[in-house]
Amino acid sequence: MLWTVDPASPTPLFEQLATQVRRSIVDRTLVRGEKLPSAKELAASLEINLHTVLRAYQTLRDEGLIELRRGRGAVVIADDPGLVNLHLMADELLAEAGRLGLAHEHVVELLEGRRA
Amino acid sequence: MLWTVDPASPTPLFEQLATQVRRSIVDRTLVRGEKLPSAKELAASLEINLHTVLRAYQTLRDEGLIELRRGRGAVVIADDPGLVNLHLMADELLAEAGRLGLAHEHVVELLEGRRA
DNA sequence: ACCTATTTGTCCGTATGTATG
DNA sequence: CCATACATACGGACAAATAGG
């Protein structure tokens, strides 16, 4: 899998792992339907705790990238995690704005206002 | 606080707690700026583990309902559920764009391009 | 139909780190 | 400097769902 984590890094281990899995999905190293290593295996491989791997997996599940099933493991469900997902999120954002009666420009302004 | 959890319920303790806090926000029992009890206190009060309370709090933070700060505690930030939710979705959209390496303006353009 | 191993889900406990006041 | 409070990580335990024999 060529995934590694750095205990000395200020970024949490579970976040490091989640980021690497995301990258693997984005660059097609992992594709839809593919199975991830079991948390136990991966934990042993990375020399981190089982729970840390599970937390990374659960984070990815909350993001809609993988599916977790007891006894079955973790499976990639993201098809195109890139622009397709971004457009989906934009859809939802605009739909929500519509429910609130906000005009399209208001949403654009809202995002412009978030330019850090 | 009149919050309770039922260890015998099939729904997880942290989810039970998160749901009750959500209800308190929705029905204005808790309003913006109000401080929630510290995780330690609440855990002792509900006779559950500190981490279980923290997990509930972190879930609510991920939903944009409360803010967590080290040394300070948990504070309600939701005021208008609708608008807050919109900001949550904008957060997620921008975060996703960030993961894809897309600049802020690209997201703005993407939304502008969706003017029906 | 049964049993067993695997795998995730949750909870508890402990320890350490980091930011706040 | 010190107490408080959340953040993360590790470890152990048990439950629940799945898969396979």
- Residue range B32-86, pLDDT digits in tens: 889 999 999 999 999 999 999 999 999 988 877 899 999 999 999 877 666 666 6
End-to-end CA distance of chain A: 35
Torsion angle, alpha carbons of A114, A102, B113, A94, to 10: 80
**Predicted confidence band at A116 (pLDDT cuts at 50, 70, 90)?**
very low
Flag whether pLDDT at A74 surpasses 60.
Answer: yes
DSSP chain A: ------TTSSS-HHHHHHHHHHHHHHTTSS-TTPEEPPHHHHHHHHTS-HHHHHHHHHHHHHTTSEEEETTTEEEE--S-TTHHHHHHHHHHHHHHHHHTT--HHHHHHHHHTT--
Q: What contacts A116, CB < 8 A, 6 or more positions away?
A: B104
Structure confidence at residue B11 (pLDDT): 87
Flag whether pLDDT at A83 surpasses 90.
Answer: no
> Which of B62, B100, B107 minimises the CB distance to A82?
B100
> Which of A82, A99, A111 minimises the CB distance to B111?
A111
> Could you tell me the distance in Å between the CA of residue A8 and the C1' of nucleotide C16?
14
What is the architecture of the domain spanning B13-115?
Answer: Orthogonal Bundle (1.10)
3-state secondary structure of B116: coil
Residues 20-39 of A with CB under 7 A from strand C: 36, 38-39
**Predicted confidence band at A34 (pLDDT cuts at 50, 70, 90)?**
very high
Phi, psi torsion values for A12, nearest 5 degrees = -55, 150
User: What token pair was written down for A36?
Assistant: 């991830």
Residues A111, B114: C-beta atoms closer than 8 Å: no
Tell me the domain boundaries of chain B. 13-115
Structure confidence at residue A102 (pLDDT): 62
